[in-house]
Copies of this chain bind each other. A is one copy, B any other.
């Protein structure tokens, strides 16, 4: 038996009850994605994850990747798993059917992606980057370029990469210096890119690098960036792989975790590339990739935490140590209240995080596919608001949760053989890549809250308020949850009001309060979804549903979260309302 079992029941609960799967399935774009089909897809994917991908996780961590003869070599087990993955059509689950994908809702793709990420985070990054490239080409590429590249990428025959960062330009893309010169029907791209995830490997015959660079007449700053598709090997008009392009692997990084994922320094030395989108429209193209990737990385926070939870839970059910009141002899450590607290903390947060990501995914399906333009706009606004919270909060939580998973193991957790340490190391990248937590928090405050004067946030708070009557209907059973949620809702409303009243006088305020605002938002939203889950569970129990154990656990889990997590919103609110004075008061020398 694999040491990873996909939590399909909770995934389906979140998709159906919270993220609107049934409504999405009825959209014209997904006429054939019946609920039964979704369940079958998830079941099949869970086998792939457990039997093919989960076993390579440790191997990738221990073997790592190497540069040989100018290219990156990954463990053979990785290539073997990749062959099974593409042979099963898994690369294209939610990718466009016109290019050979399965065309299922993005939401369903998230479920498959969660399993793959839980099974092996390092490996899962390769398909993730490919999917980002597909979405950028689909939205911004011209038909000729799509014809040349899309089918190969959708099938996974080739993989994609995302080339943004340069040594002097990480979070600040305005500082990018890579150049592109027109040459015949294409361009010659020159520059050095760093932190290129799966920037080279030997799993496929070709790779397509999407590269941000500047055309000769480009304006300064981010408005002068253009996006280029640069294949590793040149591609003939018939799609055949030809000679090597002028892209060199300079080195790979020696990292804390995700050792199985090669993080490359790439040198583009007049490499031939195709323009994606218009000149100087690179930023918009990049945001298409990035917004997708940010939801995926938020999901990584869920996935790696779920894997860590399963490992800690198995250990807690097996390890005998200590005694408890009312039980004869030594007990397994899951009997100890403090160990149960740790496990329940993981479980409750993970279920809340999963709901948050899936709900965002559901909104994205609606934003892309709803027949009513006004509904699309509304859904787009909501997913834009949720995206930095998904990315920022879920990955921040994954630091805490994988650390608790290690802690449950005691001394064994610190020994690499136990596996808990790998999850802890692997998780650590998630708050950094695809925009650090600080970048997400800045996006939330600046672009998503202040720019529309809080309209999107106000609408979200109103939706949360609308749950109150529903919770009230369940009386005492959900009273603790209802009360805690109302208090947290008042916290976000109060914080938002304070922000509106204090932002104009002090330029440091948005940056000073952004992290706490992001944490407040994520903590509250997960609590809201868990509260809704508890209400649904309570209804099902009242209606005599079969699976009483699952629904009872949902209520307990939501109550635990309301007791232990939701009170944090009060602390975040106070920190926000303290503003930026203390933060800005010290000189550099006083630090």
- For A548-583 the 0/1 string (1 means CB < 8 A from B) is 011011001001100110011011001100101011
Question: Hey, which chain B residues are within 8 Å of A344, CB to CB?
Answer: 582-583, 586, 591
Considering the complex, give the chain B residue whose CB is closest to the CB of A575: B564
Closest B residue to A348 using CB positions: B582
The verdict on A407 contacting B424 (CB below 8 Å), with A322-B172, A339-B438, A415-B255 known, is no
Q: Which residue of B lies closest to A320 (CB)?
A: B168
Q: A residues 427-450 with Cβ under 8 Å of B?
A: 428-429, 431-433, 436-438, 441-442
Are A563 and B588 also in contact (CB < 8 A) when A432-B407, A432-B411, A433-B411 are? Answer: no
Return the contact of A403 from the options B399, B559, B564 (Cβ within 8 A): B399
Return the chain B residue nearest A480 by Cβ.
Answer: B578
- Chain B CB within 8 A of A170 CB: yes
Contact A582 B559 (CB under 8 A): yes
Q: In the assembled complex, which residues on chain B have CB atoms less than 8 Å from the CB atom of A144?
A: none
CA distance A341 to B438 in the complex (A): 10
- Judged by a CB distance under 8 angstroms, whether A340 is at the interface is yes
Stoichiometry (number of copies): 2
> CA separation between A257 and B512, bound complex, in Å?
33
- How far is A407 from B436 in the complex, measured between Cα atoms in Å? 8
> How many Å lie between the Cα of A493 and that of B71 in the bound state?
63
Query: Whole-angstrom distance between the alpha carbons of A79 and B587 in the complex?
Result: 41
- Assess whether A417 is in contact with B254, with CB atoms less than 8 Å apart: yes
Report the minimum CB–CB distance from A278 to chain B (whole Å). Answer: 26
Interface positions of A from 346 to 398, Cβ below 8 Å from B: 347
Are A575 and B584 also in contact (CB < 8 A) when A254-B415, A410-B436, A507-B326 are?
A: no
Residues of B within 8 A of A508 (CB): 325, 337
* In the complex, A514 has a CB within 8 A of chain B: yes
Is the beta-carbon distance between A165 and B411 smaller than 8 angstroms? yes
Q: Find out whether the CB atom of A438 lies under 8 angstroms from the CB atom of B336.
A: yes
User: Smallest Cβ distance from A96 to chain B, in angstroms?
Assistant: 32
- Residues facing B in A408-424 (CB within 8 A) are 410-411, 413-417, 421, 424
Contacts of A338 in B (CB 8 A): 438, 441-442, 511-512, 514-515
A590 interfacial by beta-carbon distance below 8 Å: yes
The CA-CA distance from A413 to B337 in the complex, in Å, is 36
Closest to A552 in B: B590
Instruction: Write 12 A-B pairs (CB below 8 A) sorted by A numbering.
Output: A170-B321, A172-B322, A253-B415, A256-B414, A406-B428, A407-B438, A413-B432, A516-B564, A552-B590, A556-B590, A567-B571, A567-B574
Known: A338-B441, A568-B571. 19 other contacts (CB 8 A): A172-B323, A174-B323, A175-B330, A253-B414, A254-B415, A254-B417, A255-B414, A325-B507, A337-B580, A338-B515, A343-B591, A344-B583, A480-B578, A549-B589, A553-B586, A553-B590, A560-B582, A564-B578, A567-B575
